[in-house]
Structure 1
Amino acid sequence: MEALSEDLIEKKLLHFPDWEYHENAIWAEFEFDSFKDCFSAMSRIAFECEALNHHPNWSNAYNVLTISLSTHDANGVTIKDFKLAEAIEAIVEVQE
């Protein structure tokens, strides 16, 4: 799988308003009502990650989840990252 060009990444990000491109990855930060809600979303996201065999760099501090997606084998952002971002968006949207 090949890394996408920066122009194509920026174009695709128009459909992902919560995400930004920097440091060779796409990034998002989501805030939830509580730690429990954040952890619940992380658990649901983990199942999607396994299904797609693609795993984010992420962290959480209380009710804030920070996610970074890139494809290490391609040394950049690929379509795989956008597929996972789309799944994450669907999960986070349900939580809100």
Structure 2
Amino acid sequence: MPLFSSEQIQARLKSLPEWKLEDGVIVREFEFGDFALAISFVNAVAEQAEQAGHHPDIDIRYNRVRLALTSHDAGGLTNRDFDLADAINAL
């Protein structure tokens, strides 16, 4: 899968305003009412990731979840990252 150029990344981020570019990966933070809700969300993300065959880096801090997406095997951002971010937003 081809890597996205800087211009392609910026164009795709316009359709994902909650996501931002940090150190070559796209990230988004979510906040929930409590730990159980955060874990429920992470489980839903895991289902989407398994279906896509593409897995985010996940950091859980009690009621906050930080997701980071990049295509490690491709060495940067690809369509898979933005497609999964779209799917996660739909949750």
AA partner of residue 34 (structure 1): D
Q: Provide the residue aligned with 1:23 in structure 2.
A: 23
CA drift at 1:48: 0.6
TM score, norm. by length of structure 1: 0.91
CA drift at 1:81: 0.4
Structure 1 alignment gaps of length 5 or more? 92-96
Q: Provide the residue aligned with 2:83 in structure 1.
A: 83
Bigger proportion of residues as helix: 1
1:49-88 alignment runs, 5 A limit: 49-88=49-88
AA partner of residue 3 (structure 2): A
CA drift at 1:17: 1.0
Please give the alpha-carbon distance, in whole angstroms, between the structure 1 residues aligned to 2:29 and 2:77.
17
TM score, norm. by length of structure 2: 0.96
Please give the alpha-carbon distance, in whole angstroms, between the structure 2 residues aligned to 1:18 and 1:51.
23
CA drift at 1:44: 0.7
CA drift at 1:34: 1.0
Please give the alpha-carbon distance, in whole angstroms, between the structure 1 residues aligned to 2:7 and 2:50.
29
1:41-84 CA-partner distances (Å, limit 9, x unpaired): 10011011000000111111011000110001111010000111
Please give the alpha-carbon distance, in whole angstroms, between the structure 1 residues aligned to 2:38 and 2:22.
24
Provide the secondary structure at the position in 2 that maps to 1:2.
coil
Give the superposed CA RMSD: 0.7
Runs (4 or more) in structure 1 with deviation over 6 Å come to none
